[in-house]
Structure 1
């Protein structure tokens, strides 16, 4: 019974949606501040615009139906219930592919890629390039259980994902893709040589340039270093807080839907390639779907704690080069970017290096076509 996997249709009580509507109607708004750009955080007008859509026109039930139509399932691993989408391709020889999200992402960020990955023939592609998809919500995120003890960090999540793939019958041959914390999890899966894992693709590479690389940086690499420094100096306040005092902000994230929305919108504003206007590259309803994946299961605080858990972990990510076949995509709007030569030093079997012309940190939401092409190009070589 320990390995049981069960359907898990999402059906949020109407009372929860009514409560949300009541809270939105009673929002006490802050003043507009002393600047009109995003240098202090999201502008009042931007969040008012988001909330106006939330109150009038946004439909959670449509997102709920999509989740349920994509094989919403659940299983218990290492003491926690893990919620995931399991979407089997109509092609019997499809390759199992794990898609790993991060914060403040969710299983819904991959929505535009699901059809082309599982049924490429229906989208004008080659049937032999099909994938069975497994898209889990990280512990403490979405409709997965919230950890009740410390040490649910990247390494432990990687072990849970490896077990999930084994449990679904994919343990002898599968591949994995990730960005943000999902990239960290996939990196650890590669380092630990998870059983059956044949290759990986990352759209964020979590290695820092060495002092020697910094000293000999090319003009292109110096621009990348400047982007990292700007992110650390101006845009990483959320990370520093969640690394050290997640429970402090957690009370606001649990109690105020607008507070939660602004906290998440700030990341969409800062790390998309949108000039601070994320609604220009990601539909408002898609952002609201993502926010609802934190609001409805009250996962704002538990997801923020994931930063603290990893900050406590000794040693961080392994620093050795990855030997597993790998592909990397460096999107121009990503804050943490590496040059090709930096990447090649960290992957001893680099099969694909992509540099899409547009897109930022939320690649699957901003430019899913480019991410899809790079994923296919990577795994076509394996």
Structure 2
């Protein structure tokens, strides 16, 4: 049960044909009566994406890329965990476990893994990279019972690193990955030298509501926007994940619309979701929800843990990179209330919520700079 099993993707062709049929049979709503994204995913943008998906997109390209990195599964705590694992040729490489969030997947890291593992600059630090799919996401197993919240996932990730033979390691994450990585920091398992977050988690204190600090004011403004206009998905998934799950598992266009809205609002773009990510990249991510039918199982993580997102204190070494397009920016003083041993903090010049996906070079630089202070 503790075996590490090679995993190779080879999606049957009939599944891809069935997907094409569903795309052809889409029943479209009327166009939104506004000229922006204020009512959600715009019809024109979604039609453009779906047309590309149906005619030009090549799943086999993504499949081959994932297989070339190295995919594995192992059973932990009764559940199969899927993960990418690529070891460096460098003897001094530092083991790193890196965790995605929603609506992301391991494809967020396809642009950073090679550079982390085998740096183009021989003087740069190297990493052995482990990128697991969260339970209920991608090709990991779907929990059949409740209880798979971020604390349990953190324990599973510590077991995974031990099982892979890594006596010391570091952890990184954004979105749900930030919550899991924060939980790893709270757990402080043997071997974990420190953590890095590209979504620093922090909450305002009593005095912040009267603050004149521009960074605090920006954070409060973004928090207000999120709560009023941007959090409907989280309310639905944290209260009734099964209900939305039927639509997300049954309709590829519904799934794409649910996810594309967040690509638009959460990336650091200039007015189009394609300013920073290509259609191929976005559809690769959608496919990791569509093919294994994880719309409901992924949403259940919100039901499990959304109410306790980022709570608790991290006493081990921690670092954070604040990207300007983050959906819930946290000023350093907010982050330090959770990360009590903050050894690295940097405000990055560009990038949004999906840091590794949007700005792979900057993301790699941040990890190198942060973890150099820990080992």
Task: Decide: shared fold, TM above 0.5.
Answer: yes
Displacement after TM superposition at 1:277 (Å): 1.5
Q: Secondary structure at the match of 2:112?
A: helix
SS in 2 for 1:53: helix
| SS of equivalent to 1:41 | coil
Match of 2:312 among 299, 311, 319: 319
- Where do 1:218-367 residues align within 5 Å? 218-311=213-306, 317-320=310-313, 322-367=314-359
* SS of equivalent to 2:315: coil
Q: CA deviation at 1:339?
A: 1.6
Measured in 2, the distance between the counterparts of 1:369 and 1:23 equals 37
Instruction: Give how far 1:220 is off.
Output: 2.3
1:96, 1:316 → 2: CA distance?
A: 26
Indicate the SS of the match to 1:112: coil
* Cα distance in 1 for residues equivalent to 2:349 and 2:92: 32
Q: Is the 8 A contact 2:202 2:337 kept in 1?
A: no
CA–CA distance in structure 1, aligned partners of residues 36 and 15 of structure 2: 34
**Post-superposition CA distance 1:28-87 (Å, at most 9, x none):** 111002112100101000000111110121111111111111110000011111000010
**Which of 192, 198, 206 is the equivalent residue of 2:193?**
198
Further displaced range: 340-349 or 366-375: 340-349
Partner of 1:214: 209
Q: 1:275 to 1:230 in 2, by over 3 A?
A: farther
CA RMSD of aligned residues (A): 1.3
C-alpha separation in 2, matches of 1:324 and 1:330? 19
Aligned to 1:90: 89
Relative distance call for 1:167 and 1:264 in structure 2 (3 A) is same
Which position in structure 1 is the counterpart of 2:123?
126
Name the counterpart of 1:104.
103
Name the CA distance, whole Å, in 2 between partners of 1:251 and 1:344.
Answer: 40
Give the corresponding residue for 2:58.
59
User: Which aligned pairs between 1:107-186 and structure 2 lie closer than 5 A?
Assistant: 107-120=106-119, 123-126=120-123, 129-170=125-166, 172-186=167-181
Runs of 5+ consecutive residues of structure 2 not aligned to the other structure: none
Contact persistence 2:75–2:81 (CA under 8 A)? yes
> What are the ranges of 5 or more consecutive residues in structure 1 without an aligned counterpart?
none
Work out whether residues 158 and 185 of structure 1, in 8 Å CA contact, stay in contact via their aligned partners in 2: yes
- The 3 A distance-change label for structure 1 pair 276 and 252 is farther
Give secondary structure in 2 for the equivalent of 1:96: strand
Distance 1:337 1:352 in 2: 16
Report if aligned partners of 1:75, 1:81 keep a CA contact under 8 Å in 2.
Answer: yes
Residue pair 1:323, 1:349 contacting (<8 A) in 2 also: yes
Mapped contact 1:273–1:332 kept (Cα < 8 A)? yes
Distance 1:214 1:335 in 2: 19
Match of 2:77?
78
Give the total of aligned pairs. Answer: 374
What's the CA shift for 1:101? Answer: 0.4
- Give 3-state SS (helix, strand or coil) of 2:236's partner: helix
1:140–1:146 contact (8 Å) kept in structure 2: yes
Per the TM alignment, residue 235 of structure 1 is displaced from its structure 2 partner at its CA by 0.8
Paired residue secondary structure (1:149): coil
CA contact (8 A) 2:200 2:329 kept: yes
